Amino acid sequence: MTNTIGPNRARQMLAREELVLCMGVNQMRTPNIALIAAACGFDAIYIDLEHNPTSLETAASICIAALGAGVTPIARVSSHDPHDATRILDCGAQGVMVPHVTSAAEAHAVVEACRFAPIGHRSAAGTVPALGYAALKQGEINRLLNENTLLIAMLETPGAIEQADAIAAVPGIDMLHIGSTDLSTEMGIPGEYKHPQMQAAYEATARAARAHGKSFGVGGVREDLGFQSWLLKLGMRYLTGGSDVGYILSAGRRDVAQLRQAAAT
């Protein structure tokens, strides 16, 4: 039986140095959000398991819907506990975003947990949703999942930025991703993404990623096309463009403001 699920779209695009646009899933709880993301033209979704009460079962349902829609399902896990990452990978995610990675040792632990031998020591669960439950030999399952799993290390502190080159050098890590909200908060300049300190952090991380053949991603930077263009020139190839909550709030506030104005005239 052949694999009915295609390869990891986002990982393939990154290998070709194409821009991957990702939509954050923060509050939506039904698989429909994956189809909505696909209808909008997003290449990937990331399901936030760090900042909301989404359950593993709910996240798995959204991942499976994304697989069917041709959108790469990525989960931002809540901790460095290897079971957080491996369980959602076993349940349908094609990638994990691990928050608060601050050293090469922590990045290496991510690889150890999430890739099969000889690269790491992920526990073999047999066939999984990401392979369409295809009937394959275990060696082929391990090879395909190693090839199609996207591992993203999030850099969210000044200390992590200082270690960007060492983190990028870890074999098996695919991307360095700056969590702009957390990083700017740690720097004492929350939300000031154009601040010279933040710009220096983006530049340093982009250099580290480029030096080691890894991708450079950014989250939190929205609604400023000029700044996003600067990041693209810097080498950013993965951008979380916005989240379900942000899109609902922006559209809802705009409509309410227009109707209030109309009622007042």
168 touches 208 (CB < 8 A): yes
- Extract the tokens encoding 157: 């502190």
Question: Of 51, 80, 108, 212, which is the active-site residue?
Answer: 51
* Residue 260 burial (CB count, 10 A): 9
Q: What is the dihedral of CA 84, 90, 91, 94, to 10 degrees?
A: 90
Furthest CA-CA distance within the chain? 70
Task: Give 75's DSSP letter.
Answer: E
Q: How far is CA 245 from CA 26, 28, 82, in A?
A: 7, 8, 28
CA distance linking residue 142 with residue 96, whole number of Å: 17
Element at 199 (helix H, strand E): helix 196-211
CA distance linking residue 77 with residue 95, whole number of Å: 10
- Extract the tokens encoding 242: 């916005």
**100 catalytically annotated:** no
* Residue 251 burial (CB count, 10 A): 10
Active site (catalytic) residues: 51
